Amino acid sequence: MRFLGKQSKPRVYVTRALPGDAIERLQRECDVRVWDEDAPPSRETLLEETRNAEGLLCLLTDNVDAGLLEAAVHLRVISTMAVGYDHIDIDAATARGVLVTHTPGVLTETTADFAFALLLAAARRLPEGDRAVREGRWTAWQPTFLVGQDVYGATLGIVGLGAIGAAVAKRARGFAMRVLYCGPARNEPLEEELGLEYTNFEGLLARADFVSVHARLTPETRHLFNEDAFRRMKPTAVFVNTARGAIVDEGALLRALENRVIAAAAIDVTETEPLAKTDMLLRLPNLLVTPHIASASVATRTRMAGLAVDNVLDALAGRRPGHPVNPQVLNVK
Ligand code: GLV
């Protein structure tokens, strides 16, 4: 850990080294402490470091719960370098008048690119092909060797049509896909613009060749993909998740892939991260898993860090940050 800056400035704790000039910019205006290791700080460290901090710049790996908020009595802003904020107890923060901010928008296209990359890779069995070549199992061109699912002209089901879901739908048009979507909010202008069809969850599962999840993790979406959901999908279906691991019951996913209830899955997120090397999911040839890197391009991660810093600086200077999660806190002040 390093200590940077002078005492008279607002104190900010940053839970990891950040790309670009993010820390330097923060340091100009704040008294900054940075957790410099690759693994997240422990609960004890987080408690200790936020006890006197006015600002916390954290990542999705940091659990900011009611207990931490109770101890961090000086805290005014929590800025997460993520679009998802399910790792923060928003109600507890709001009750204590602590502003929470996040970094939407800047990662939309990068994440959509990655979701599509997963979809294509799982459909056309890229990881299996790569393994086959490396393991000397490419013996001859064969009519039925590693045959997969066509993407062009297929039906895509998008679960949660927020910014990222919409960006995936735009990409699907280039593949002449029919695009269905479901979710709490219907978006008729976008339906019109992109030729989308709104349906319910069950209808989407029954008709989609590809199901891609772009919903937030909430009590309503936790384990939305359970045994029953996978059973409703086509046996040729490919499931893609770049949202949050806990939207899927991983036991149910394991059984669905093992018993070929669905054809394949490609996931960038798991219920417990990192996924243990011994996890049963890793034995499945029809599962592609990546280590939560959908937003991981150099430019996007730099933009996310910059935005997270802007949010802290704005909040501590009494300005309205661009991306408040609980703006009601601002109205009270
Ligand atoms: C990544 O998962 C994010 O929420 O930004």
Beta partners for residue 158, in sequence order: 181, 212
What span, in angstroms and rounded, lies between the C-alpha atoms of 35 and 52?
15
Find the catalytic residue in 11, 102, 244, 303: 244
Token pair belonging to 226: 């359970």
Helix, strand or coil, per DSSP, at residue 171: helix
Q: How far is CA 331 from the centre of its chain?
A: 29
Find the catalytic residue in 273, 283, 319, 320: 273
Annotated catalytic residue 109: no
CB 256 within 8 A of CB 286: no
Residuewise pLDDT in 10s, the chain (333 residues): 455 544 579 999 999 999 999 999 999 999 999 999 999 999 999 999 999 999 999 999 999 999 999 999 999 999 999 999 999 999 999 999 999 999 999 999 999 999 999 999 999 999 999 999 999 999 999 999 999 999 999 999 999 999 999 999 999 999 999 999 999 989 999 999 999 999 999 999 999 999 999 999 999 999 999 999 999 999 999 999 999 999 999 999 999 999 999 999 999 999 999 999 999 999 999 999 999 999 999 999 999 999 999 999 999 999 999 999 999 999 765
Q: What number does the ligand 1 atom closest to the CA of 242 have? A: 2
Q: What is the pTM of this model?
A: 0.95
Residue 8, pLDDT score:
79
Residue 59, pLDDT score:
98
* Closest residue by CA, ligand 1 atom 5: 82
What span, in angstroms and rounded, lies between the C-alpha atoms of 5 and 101?
23
Q: Is the CB of 60 under 6 A from ligand 1?
A: yes
> What letters, b where the CB count within 10 A reaches 16 and e where it falls short, cover 147-158?
ebbebeebbbbb
CB 248 within 8 A of CB 271: yes
What span, in angstroms and rounded, lies between the C-alpha atoms of 127 and 113?
18
Annotated catalytic residue 102: no
Q: Quote the ligand 1 centre to 83 CA distance (angstroms).
A: 5
With CA atoms as reference, report the closest residue to 279 among 308, 245, 311, 306.
245
Cis peptide before 274 (omega within 30 of 0): yes
